[in-house]
A and B are shown apart, each in its own frame.
Chain A
């Protein structure tokens, strides 16, 4: 007889809720799972989601192929984001730029050339960036120059939710019961030591539960660690416009005083989000800024939203796990909210609790460990966003200060446990925002400017040759959509 917790309730109707449901169904196969979806707050507002490669395995497990994301969810491929700020223009790409040469990382050669007075362009050596700027795209190909390419998929949020919901509801099997309720939570009944025992819905139904995954923010812990001192943009205006132009492979990020504008693209449309600091920019001014920056402001849809940057102190509390924007928000830059949901669910499944009052102490220990790991990871997420969105200030978190000092002083990337970016991604970001190493690997200090220029010129030419053979992004998307 299993003591496994099998009555799991998920509150919410957005991508976080359905993604959490899908992960439960995949990972808890054969556990006599009784999953109740309280489908409330299903979003009606368009948005673009970005999914990274880590989602592939989970998609496959629930029967969603990448081609169907392109074909049925209006997806497009993305190699990175072009950042434009007052003092930098560069492309951040998930893919490595250059490679190890004689055991020395590529960026040391670039930095060395810069330090001896040469002219450098880091992006010129990135296949992903060069391809992105020419609107080309290719999947990674093993044992070729393309083998380390990394990418994300931009998706129409509403269509993706629909696809996930269909996949989840189609997964019901002999050992899994799924109850899908279009309702919302009216009240919560608690048992011993604050354990949620049942949820009373507006429909009057009472749902008994062993564990609640709350994606609605209703049960979120009121203890919150604010990051506003680092990440002050607390409101956003988002809108969608039609477009007949080609589908870019690069997202756009433009920074202004107390505001930033991001643009992500899908075939036939552009999604914009203007984030701003309400202390300095009024809603009316934001609207004016949007019109000014986009040129023709003719949205199919627009929405204003409040945000608070920070993280809930207890993500897992008693038998409730909070997932989604109410539990953590750092901005809309590198990590989609879905990224956090994926890691949150993976972590929860690795620390799987047991039901009942007899397991209270054990579950407290698991929750404490979960919250500790979560906060370690979120500190890195915060640092990434601070580097992107808070560069005028000097009060960086100490971890970010150390990371920048080390990089500028040595060209090395600090190692931190549970980091959220690969070292080469940190390098890309730090160089892009002007944090150039003033010292480089001593192993290449003997190289002269001419030697470095020749080496990098050759590398650039090879990069161009590879990119020249890559297909156009829209052609590839069209081919996938046309395939039977």
Chain B
């Protein structure tokens, strides 16, 4: 029996889709022993964006928290495994590199591996740094195995999934409804607020149903039905740094076995994604409307499809940026209503997950204490801004000068924090690390080197080694990587192996992120 008369008794989620159902599932799980009612409002008539099909390793923790088994999840959402993202044509046309969920080598004498590689490279080593990353080698051979829990080479990576986001939402809907979440079908036609506090008290639906709530989660997408249209929270635009403002998506049939990585191919005024699922391939083109028309974007996307289209093109418009407060009064914006970053590094679902986790951590009482609100907003702002900087790096660290778009992003002024990081790297090879955060040192190393950003100097302590000395170590590491890859099953076979109930390797997979210990 609860004694707290101020406890939140009713959470109302406005909007379904991935954000809405992930939020509902997490709250249903965490509040299952309480008397809190969770209602989710969605309309079959309002489509979901549903392009965020590539994920990050963090989603494994989310599923684990919900108690979802790997084989069931993989089967229900037609998932494939993901070990990184291949970036094509970014540094220069014809270039290609993989940003892996894992390490490049390991530090020697406290000095990061990339300094040794760079020193050898400057002396004539031909191998790219990707040759010294196990997950990259696994991607290139189209294989997959779960990372080990020990400290061996086999533990130096993590994995995520390519999923059908609409199937994931459907799967989570079943999960939620089995745990008492109430789904209300219909559109919201009116939002009621407390005249004194401005808190949202209820929403009225076109079905004449009124849904009340102590806490409202706005998962209504770009429009921000509650956070913006009702509370006028404000939005910080980042288009001057991330100028792409539109996307077109067309799924197609699979013409080949799915690879364990996403592909992001730079185009004339943006980039195209390719996400292999078990049953189809998700494709899309993110572009800047200042430099290319919708027709051109669609044409370019169609040219690159590897199989027969499975649907009509779905055009989207977006404003890159963040809501000035993702939590305002008793409304928390999760998903696109809280902010949008293009899916270049598959951060969409991650930001949803992060918002949910922080909401649970700071789960409020009815008063919505300012301390909760300000900490939630502070942490979410820090996270999304760090991701923003990392995305900008992809555009700015380039030698491409073959279009107006690339000339703009290559020469634009950068956020101060990012400029400082890039300057330090170019001068010294040193990667500024966050203590905690989404993209750790290997991610920055992958993009810097993959996009031709070369430091003027390396750590001077590695210069005492000559090429044969370093090469001997590098060759040894490469041999170990090659041997490890050889013993792994093919990616598709690894997915099929999940059908065998005696195969429980997934239960013993390391839960590290990005392979960094």
Spell out A's residues near B (CB within 8 Å): 1-5, 27-32, 116, 349-355, 359, 361-362, 365-366, 368-369, 372, 402, 405-406, 408-410, 412, 414-415, 417-418, 439, 441-443, 445-446, 448
Q: Does B315 contact A (CB under 8 A)?
A: no
> Contact: A365 with B423, CB < 8 Å?
yes
Given A361-B427, A362-B457, CB of A445 within 8 Å of CB of B463:
no
What separation, in Å, do the CA atoms of A408 and B369 have in the docked complex? 10
B426 → chain A closest CB, angstroms? 9
Chain B residues contacting A28 (CB-CB under 8 Å) are 461
Known contacts A1-B463, A365-B427, A366-B430; can you find 8 more A-B pairs with CB under 8 A?
A2-B461, A27-B110, A362-B428, A366-B428, A402-B374, A405-B370, A412-B375, A446-B2
> Contact: A30 with B434, CB < 8 Å?
no
What separation, in Å, do the CA atoms of A353 and B435 have in the docked complex? 22
> Contact: A3 with B3, CB < 8 Å?
no
Chain A residues contacting B153 (CB-CB under 8 Å) are none
> Contact: B424 with A365, CB < 8 Å?
yes
Q: Does B178 contact A (CB under 8 A)?
A: no
A295 → chain B closest CB, angstroms? 45
> Contact: A406 with B371, CB < 8 Å?
yes
> Contact: A410 with B2, CB < 8 Å?
no
Chain B residues contacting A409 (CB-CB under 8 Å) are 369-372
23 A-B interface contacts by CB (under 8 A): A2-B461, A2-B463, A2-B464, A3-B463, A5-B460, A30-B464, A351-B430, A354-B460, A362-B427, A362-B457, A365-B423, A365-B424, A366-B427, A369-B424, A402-B374, A405-B374, A406-B371, A417-B436, A439-B365, A441-B363, A446-B2, A446-B33, A448-B1
Q: Digit string of B182-223 for contact with A (CB within 8 Å is 1, else 0)? A: 000000000000000000000000000000000000000000
What separation, in Å, do the CA atoms of A196 and B172 have in the docked complex? 65
Q: Does B151 contact A (CB under 8 A)?
A: no
Q: Which of B3, B109, B375, B423 makes the CB contact (< 8 A) with A410?
A: B375
Given A116-B3, A365-B423, CB of A352 within 8 Å of CB of B434:
no
A74 → chain B closest CB, angstroms? 32
What separation, in Å, do the CA atoms of A406 and B369 have in the docked complex? 9
Chain B residue at minimal CB-CB distance from A445 = B4
Chain B residues contacting A1 (CB-CB under 8 Å) are 463
Chain B residues contacting A5 (CB-CB under 8 Å) are 460
Q: Does B298 contact A (CB under 8 A)?
A: no
Of the candidates B8, B34, B456, B460, the one having the most CB atoms from chain A within 10 angstroms of its own CB is B460
> Contact: B430 with A443, CB < 8 Å?
no
> Contact: B464 with A405, CB < 8 Å?
no
A56 → chain B closest CB, angstroms? 17
Chain A residues contacting B33 (CB-CB under 8 Å) are 446
What separation, in Å, do the CA atoms of A350 and B432 have in the docked complex? 11
> Contact: A2 with B460, CB < 8 Å?
yes
Chain B residues contacting A116 (CB-CB under 8 Å) are 3
Chain B residues contacting A414 (CB-CB under 8 Å) are 375, 378
> Contact: A442 with B460, CB < 8 Å?
no
> Contact: A369 with B430, CB < 8 Å?
yes
What separation, in Å, do the CA atoms of A362 and B423 have in the docked complex? 9
Spell out B's residues near A (CB within 8 Å): 1-4, 7-8, 30, 33-34, 109-111, 361-363, 365, 369-372, 374-375, 378-379, 420, 423-424, 427-428, 430, 432, 434-436, 456-457, 459-461, 463-464
Chain B residues contacting A406 (CB-CB under 8 Å) are 371-372, 374-375
B287 → chain A closest CB, angstroms? 35
> Contact: A27 with B109, CB < 8 Å?
yes
Given A365-B424, A409-B370, CB of A31 within 8 Å of CB of B8:
no
> Contact: B435 with A418, CB < 8 Å?
yes
A272 → chain B closest CB, angstroms? 37
What separation, in Å, do the CA atoms of A372 and B432 have in the docked complex? 11
Chain B residues contacting A445 (CB-CB under 8 Å) are 2-4, 7
What separation, in Å, do the CA atoms of A218 and B506 have in the docked complex? 60
Q: Which of A352, A353, A365, A415 makes the CB contact (< 8 A) with B436?
A: A415
Chain A residue at minimal CB-CB distance from B434 = A417
Given A415-B436, A417-B435, A443-B30, CB of A31 within 8 Å of CB of B372:
no
What separation, in Å, do the CA atoms of A361 and B457 have in the docked complex? 11
> Contact: A31 with B3, CB < 8 Å?
no
What separation, in Å, do the CA atoms of A288 and B387 have in the docked complex? 59
Q: Which of B4, B420, B460 makes the CB contact (< 8 A) with A4?
A: B460
> Contact: A446 with B428, CB < 8 Å?
no
What separation, in Å, do the CA atoms of A412 and B358 have in the docked complex? 11
What separation, in Å, do the CA atoms of A408 and B463 have in the docked complex? 53
What separation, in Å, do the CA atoms of A449 and B378 have in the docked complex? 34
Chain A residues contacting B464 (CB-CB under 8 Å) are 2, 4, 30-32
What separation, in Å, do the CA atoms of A415 and B380 have in the docked complex? 12
What separation, in Å, do the CA atoms of A410 and B360 have in the docked complex? 12
Chain B residue at minimal CB-CB distance from A437 = B371
Chain B residue at minimal CB-CB distance from A405 = B371
What separation, in Å, do the CA atoms of A419 and B428 have in the docked complex? 26
What separation, in Å, do the CA atoms of A247 and B371 have in the docked complex? 43
What separation, in Å, do the CA atoms of A414 and B427 have in the docked complex? 34
What separation, in Å, do the CA atoms of A352 and B115 have in the docked complex? 12
B116 → chain A closest CB, angstroms? 13
Of the candidates B362, B363, B371, B456, the one having the most CB atoms from chain A within 10 angstroms of its own CB is B371
What separation, in Å, do the CA atoms of A351 and B4 have in the docked complex? 52
Chain B residues contacting A372 (CB-CB under 8 Å) are 420
What separation, in Å, do the CA atoms of A329 and B266 have in the docked complex? 52
> Contact: A448 with B362, CB < 8 Å?
no
A347 → chain B closest CB, angstroms? 11
Chain B residue at minimal CB-CB distance from A28 = B461
Chain B residues contacting A349 (CB-CB under 8 Å) are 110
Chain A residue at minimal CB-CB distance from B365 = A439
What separation, in Å, do the CA atoms of A28 and B430 have in the docked complex? 18
> Contact: B457 with A359, CB < 8 Å?
yes
Chain A residues contacting B110 (CB-CB under 8 Å) are 27, 349-350
Q: Which of A2, A366, A415 makes the CB contact (< 8 A) with B379?
A: A415
What separation, in Å, do the CA atoms of A363 and B30 have in the docked complex? 50
Q: Which of B361, B374, B460 makes the CB contact (< 8 A) with A352?
A: B460
B414 → chain A closest CB, angstroms? 15
A239 → chain B closest CB, angstroms? 40
What separation, in Å, do the CA atoms of A160 and B7 have in the docked complex? 56
What separation, in Å, do the CA atoms of A30 and B463 have in the docked complex? 12
Given A2-B460, A350-B110, A366-B428, CB of A410 within 8 Å of CB of B379:
no
Chain A residue at minimal CB-CB distance from B111 = A352
Chain A residue at minimal CB-CB distance from B465 = A2
Q: Which of A31, A351, A418, A442 makes the CB contact (< 8 A) with B365?
A: A442
Chain B residue at minimal CB-CB distance from A350 = B110
Chain A residue at minimal CB-CB distance from B115 = A352
Chain B residues contacting A29 (CB-CB under 8 Å) are 109
